[in-house]
A and B are shown apart, each in its own frame.
Chain A
């Protein structure tokens, strides 16, 4: 439930601008304004510009479109201004006024794109998207940067795997604690092995994994300013997830941006405050947040096999926005021999769909450069990161294999997926 500090009235997002003391800490920390003059910085486009925006007058500014939505500003703001949310709303206003380009409509519909590309025909789709001349054509016509890291479609979806497996599993059912898995678009269409790993880890810890109907969390829509479509997505997800949330069945996700959207982003940005929306938000956990909670209660299995490795770990901006510390580090610390080194870089640059855009690709690579450098210097050939788009960007920028930390945990459990 929302806790209202006693010395503050409950401030709406817009009103949170009143907390800004102009200190410029956000501007100093902003990874985007550090590398480009196109973005005047979070203070400027956030609480400062907000004082000049009028609900019933045309948008007075455009630079806010260069905000990547990474939320580093929120993280560092000493007074609690909701800068990233102010920016997201301003961008949605721009989108509503000026229309959303076809490119942004396309890349923000990860579910639709996934459905089109994943399946038996995936190799063809992947080959086409890997074909440089075609990517050049796409860049020129649509504005999707030709070098930008696009994931490969999977030949099967996670849900189809789960359905088949469920049929087989139904035979030996004894009642277990239940948990809902929110897999998101990535695990379903691009990286089904992540979904399988999550299921394996949860089942290893004695849970029955439920897979209610679900669709894209809507974050790419929110960050591209398509609030109408994002609202529909969230309404559908709440309708499907609320019955579980209301029975106190936790909802876990391994895509840290999906879980953040369910917890906070969608309700706040879209102003959705119903009891069911709150219930879903309240019951949603990042996978490692959930596992750490189990461990705190003494319920996490610790039958780990040693892994003698030292790996760089990058906590994605979207994970840091959960304000839950570094749960992956806390849990993986239990694995004997495994040493994770936190990168302490601010952002990988991709910010979901930001780095795919031709006009922003170079910015995103420049933002990620310090992170890529840190990872390269570590000498490791694997880097860990909780967020899929960040992993794709890290692979692209640092030429390493980027894996989800849950894969290390599964390996430690000896679970082969």
Chain B
């Protein structure tokens, strides 16, 4: 058993945990973060990518709206490379109550959410596929955010200030002495080793899992995991975030993020954040509702569907999930439950993650007697260097205007490949992941399987859904990791086979709910390649490799 000592232990490697870690580190507080999977493995990595303007909540949840509006501007300032300034529209479709629009505008003014009505003609000019029968259109400052990149940016920055990040460390117990929390016991899922972490303070930032963690300390938190299902379309059918101008409901948003457009979402309470399923009814509902925004969308190519669980905190009885406020709640277990040394941060949204972290760390710092103020709203997060072969500011790159933008732009990756002349090194052709990107991700210590590489690089997230990159990536992995192990006496390609199968299965899980038309054709080709040509279903595979190390874990997916 290993033992670590730190001042503050953050549990949960999502946006909030990573934000809290950076905040702590910037205040000079010793800290460590544990995450049971890969960073962003939970809700953060399964969200649609909307950087809220606040518009969605102005009528129903004004406090959330205000928070979103403020944080939106701050995030643009501190991490522009993670954000695309898509702009947003709220449109009144023929199915929507026209009187809502007036309440919407008034509420925007009240809550400080920037809004401007634009002529319908102008909205259609910006978004030619938008329903031509919309009656009004309002521009807002919605954007798109890369939650994978942003979370890594936070943890990488925290590391620069001395923080530790332990992924694939599952908390198996919290240590409580009397009315004081003193640490946690974790299992390192890769080595099987038990790790005891002594900490003066614990931040429970596990979102939908917060109730499970709190229970380990004998505390009760009523978190309702609210399942939201989303569908990724094959390309950017819109370049602006498009919202229905009405009370928030199911299937009323389209978010352009990277190369896809995400239709969302549903909101269904589920008993367990680790066990839920998507239903055909949800998929159908999202597509049907999407038709009001973009007619014909239900017949366009959908890549896949997936679901995430919102960390909704239920303080009192609310009618339905949608009635639970979207604002966050900081639970101080000392005042709430009489147990010192632990706080839980629940609720909230990706857009407000920084504010949640600030609020949380303010309390923790106060308890620890640290008076250094929060700096996360002002201090820009420098982009992490991913080890890609070329320097970010080569003369060839200067040639592409798009690369000069501090914000992420859709063409960014293509311009990089063009400037670096690296098209011959593409491993994932759909999402333009080069060999250099992939090798850097494989060699970083956080990754345990190809799905982790996907979160780091977007491997396999494009049209072919891993059809042409999975075998390449598995081979490179084998070369860099297991090949090296073989030099020390290990043998066989069984581990690579396991990785290959796991990733194919993970992609397949998401593809099946939307399997028709063009994507069906794609999957048939993938099936022929993997099952007929490569016979991946008949290759030998073992659970452990020859050097006695427990196999890189193939984490059970919940979708």
Contacts and interface: CB of A to CB of B under 8 A. Distances in A.
Contact of A22 (B301, B412, B415, B463): B463
Contacts of A346: none
A61 B409 CA distance: 13
B255 to A, nearest CB: 15
B497 interface: no
A52 B414 contact: yes
Contacts of A59: 402, 411
A7 B412 CA distance: 34
Contacts of A17: 234-235
Contact of A23 (B234, B517, B518, B525): B525
Interface residues of B, number: 35
A15 B300 contact: yes
A359 interface: no
Contacts of B430: 22, 48, 51
B401 A58 contact: yes
Given A20-B463, A21-B464, A51 B299 contact: no
B28 interface: no
A13 interface: no
A57 B521 contact: no
Nearest to B302: A18
A47 B235 CA distance: 10
A19 interface: yes
What's the dominant secondary structure at chain B's contact region? loop
B423 A44 contact: yes
B509 interface: no
Interface in A40-72: 40, 43-44, 47-63
A57 B300 contact: no
Given A15-B300, A20-B463, A58-B402, A52 B429 contact: no
B525 A54 contact: no
Nearest to A49: B414
Interface string B400-413: 11100000011111
B409 A54 contact: yes
A330 B400 CA distance: 50
B424 interface: yes
Contact of B235 (A8, A51, A55): A51
Nearest to A60: B411
Nearest to B400: A60
Interface in B134-192: none
Interface in B205-228: none
A1 interface: no
A168 interface: no
By DSSP majority rule, is chain A's interface helix, strand, loop, or mixed? loop
A276 B395 CA distance: 49
A37 interface: yes
A37 B401 contact: no
Contacts of B412: 52, 60
Contacts of B236: 51, 54
Contacts of A48: 429-430
Contacts of B464: 21-22
B33 interface: no
**Most B Cβ at <10 Å: residue of A22, A37, A62:** A22
Contact of A21 (B400, B415, B429, B521): B521
B146 to A, nearest CB: 15
A48 B462 CA distance: 9
Nearest to B235: A51
A44 B411 contact: no
B518 A52 contact: no
A150 to B, nearest CB: 32
A52 B417 CA distance: 12
A21 B525 contact: yes
Contacts of A40: 423-424
Contacts of A60: 400, 402, 409-412, 414-415, 418
A134 B409 CA distance: 46
A55 B128 CA distance: 11
Contacts of A3: none
B254 to A, nearest CB: 15
B418 A63 contact: yes
B468 A22 contact: yes
B6 interface: no
B256 to A, nearest CB: 9
B423 A79 contact: no
A166 to B, nearest CB: 48
Contact of B300 (A9, A22, A52, A63): A9
Contacts of A53: 410-411, 414
Given A9-B300, A22-B467, A43 B409 contact: no
Given A19-B521, A54-B409, A61-B414, 11 more contacts: A21-B522, A44-B429, A51-B430, A54-B239, A55-B239, A56-B239, A57-B409, A57-B410, A59-B402, A62-B418, A79-B521
A-B CB proximity, top 8 nearest: A60-B411, A52-B414, A18-B301, A58-B401, A60-B415, A60-B414, A40-B423, A22-B464
5 contacts: A21-B521, A43-B429, A52-B414, A54-B239, A60-B414
